[in-house]
Structure 1
Amino acid sequence: MREPFVLYETRGRVAILTLNRPDTRNAIGEHADCAELVEAVERANADRSISVLVLTGLGASFSAGGNLKGMRDRDGIGPLATPADTRDNYKKGVQKIALAFAGLEIASIAAVNGHAIGLGCDIACLCDMRVASDAAKFAASFVKMGIVPGDGGAWILPRTIGYARAAEMILTGDTYTAAEAREMGLVNKVVPADQVMDEALKLADRVAANPPRAVRLAKRLLREGQHSRLTDVLELSAAFQALAHETADHKEAVEAFLDKRPPVFTGA
């Protein structure tokens, strides 16, 4: 029986997704792998009790990206018999991962426990925040293999670290240490390897401590702000704010502040 590629667990308002192929450095090689990750992301998003998703990898790597053996054999999520087949293969496989993360209303954190290479790097960057092991390595190494970022990396990376840095990563294909990734804004924090999940969960708990509906609305505004005009974001902000003002959690936050007591949020 096939072992699940994505392990799913919850801790309070936090969903933890773990890539479960340590023997292949959590490489993504089959459409079933893509489908499982998409399903897990959508499951967390649909659960109104969840405010934060944490994504990590089992073993020494976060994800080595695509499976090169599958590329060579033209069997998996990459090239197939014809260019037309390959185009469709990317659209129904790895690109659905990008769309699933782009559609997230909850916050997301990548706990990068090891190497995040190619597709693995882009998946980490699809998350809102990243906590990395000091032993982690990052690379958008597609050109090194004579290909391009077919997973949407040309859209993902510039929005994470800016155009010039993204151009450097994508056009050189070079590998960067965790310290270098921190300096270029690719990760929020670098910690010793044995502290990555603890730090990621601490960050998740700080987000999850806030009113759940406000977190989801604020997250959507952040995403919209990446590609919309200021006037459009202002209009959406006013509409979202009108909704937020009517929530029970907003009223509780105001009362708790005035009463000088800790608030108790219910998600209502």
Structure 2
Amino acid sequence: MTYQAISVATQDGVTTMTLNRPERMNALSGQMIKEVVGVLEAARQGNGTRVIVLTGAGRAFCGGADLKDLGGPAGLLPHNSAESKRQGLRLGVYPLIHGIRNCEVPVIAMVNGAAAAGGCDLALACDIRIGSEHTRFMESFARIGLFPGTGGCWFLPRMVGSSKAAEMIFTGDPIGAQEAYQWGLLSQLVPHQELLDRTMTLARRIADGPPIALRLAKMVMQKSMDMNLETSLELAAASESITLTSEDHQEGLTAFLEKREAKFRGL
């Protein structure tokens, strides 16, 4: 498949998507969103991808929506009325966030540089974030009279607490890599020259894991955020009954007893 706004490469079950508009800080466009959502949907439907890595070309991860033509004919929100812009977000932008959350395979954000506004929310939507000293998170919406309408108001309080989330959202100030790591926005903070290798090492390790169990784990973790413990345990019991009767579980047990690496096939 030919891509205009991203590049895609797959090896050993790991699909790497690179937002490829470096001259525009990888700003989100309608074409870019369409292409990313297409890759996510293909993985969800089962194309052999076990892990997705999302990153940006050049010095930025993603600078958010392309403000240069945001309201233009080719922009993300081309109409003037409030209702039309609401529909533009729901139909043109939110499929990107839903696509990541609903994709059954783990999605890792390799945050190679600035993640601002919608680009920040894009990174937050991913399951894991790995960064370097070049990483910056910035909910910069307030600087142009907006607020995080692409998921930041949901993700941030759950990740860093309400006070820190409010500070980031109300000020629009950037959060550096060390703070992001201390606050839990990054699961790993590595030297920039090691960012690719360390991210791919983790991605391959996850890709070698049991696909059914990992898909169910992602689903249960997400749904449990809005459940009480009892309901979460009921969902876990239903899900674990699937893994307990899988061939992967039998392979895992056999490999453990034989003291060898398991070879999971997603069956």
TM-score by length of 1: 0.93
Contact 1:98 1:152 in 2 (8 A): yes
Tell me whether 1:90 sits opposite 2:80 in the alignment: no
Separation of aligned partners in 2, 1:126 and 1:227: 16
Separation of aligned partners in 2, 1:245 and 1:214: 9
Separation of aligned partners in 2, 1:36 and 1:74: 19
Separation of aligned partners in 2, 1:152 and 1:109: 17
Give the letter aligned to residue 246 of structure 1. T
Tell me whether 1:59 sits opposite 2:49 in the alignment: no
Which range moved further: 68-77 or 95-104?
68-77
What is the CA-CA distance between 1:262 and the residue it aligns to?
A: 2.0
Counterpart of 1:11 in structure 2 is 11
Counterpart of 2:183 in structure 1 is 184
What is the CA-CA distance between 1:94 and the residue it aligns to?
A: 1.5
Contact 1:133 1:192 in 2 (8 A): yes
Tell me whether 1:134 sits opposite 2:133 in the alignment: yes
Which range moved further: 75-84 or 236-245?
75-84
Separation of aligned partners in 1, 2:73 and 2:136: 27
Q: How does 1:34-49 map to 2 (within 5 A)?
A: 34-47=33-46, 49=48
Give the letter aligned to residue 173 of structure 2. D
What is the CA-CA distance between 1:72 and the residue it aligns to?
A: 6.4
Deviations 1:80-131 (A, max 9, x none): 2211211111111111111111212111110011111111111011111111
Contact 1:51 1:216 in 2 (8 A): no
Give the letter aligned to residue 259 of structure 2. K
What is the CA-CA distance between 1:71 and the residue it aligns to?
A: 3.5
Contact 1:161 1:186 in 2 (8 A): yes
SS in 2 for 1:240: helix
Q: How does 1:22-41 map to 2 (within 5 A)?
A: 22-28=22-28, 30-41=29-40
Deviations 1:159-178 (A, max 9, x none): 33232221111111111111
TM-score by length of 2: 0.94
Separation of aligned partners in 1, 2:73 and 2:160: 33
Give the letter aligned to residue 245 of structure 2. E
SS in 2 for 1:93: helix
Q: What stretches of structure 1 of length at least 5 have no aligned partner?
A: none
Q: What stretches of structure 2 of length at least 5 have no aligned partner?
A: none
Counterpart of 1:265 in structure 2 is 264
Q: How many residues align?
A: 266
Q: 1:141 to 1:261 in 2, by over 3 A?
A: same
Contact 2:77 2:85 in 1 (8 A): yes
- CA RMSD, 1 decimal: 1.7
Separation of aligned partners in 1, 2:146 and 2:193: 34
What is the CA-CA distance between 1:62 and the residue it aligns to?
A: 0.5
Counterpart of 1:81 in structure 2 is 80
Separation of aligned partners in 1, 2:224 and 2:262: 29
Deviations 1:33-54 (A, max 9, x none): 2211111111122225222111
Q: How does 1:202-221 map to 2 (within 5 A)?
A: 202-221=201-220
Contact 1:7 1:17 in 2 (8 A): yes
Separation of aligned partners in 2, 1:89 and 1:146: 18
What is the CA-CA distance between 1:14 and the residue it aligns to?
A: 1.2
Counterpart of 1:149 in structure 2 is 148
Separation of aligned partners in 1, 2:104 and 2:3: 29
Give aligned-pair identity as a percent.
37
SS in 2 for 1:130: strand
Q: How does 1:82-121 map to 2 (within 5 A)?
A: 82-121=81-120
Which range moved further: 78-87 or 48-57?
78-87
Counterpart of 1:234 in structure 2 is 233
Separation of aligned partners in 2, 1:22 and 1:75: 19
SS in 2 for 1:160: helix
Contact 2:208 2:263 in 1 (8 A): no
Separation of aligned partners in 1, 2:51 and 2:13: 7
SS in 1 for 2:65: coil
What is the CA-CA distance between 1:242 and the residue it aligns to?
A: 0.8
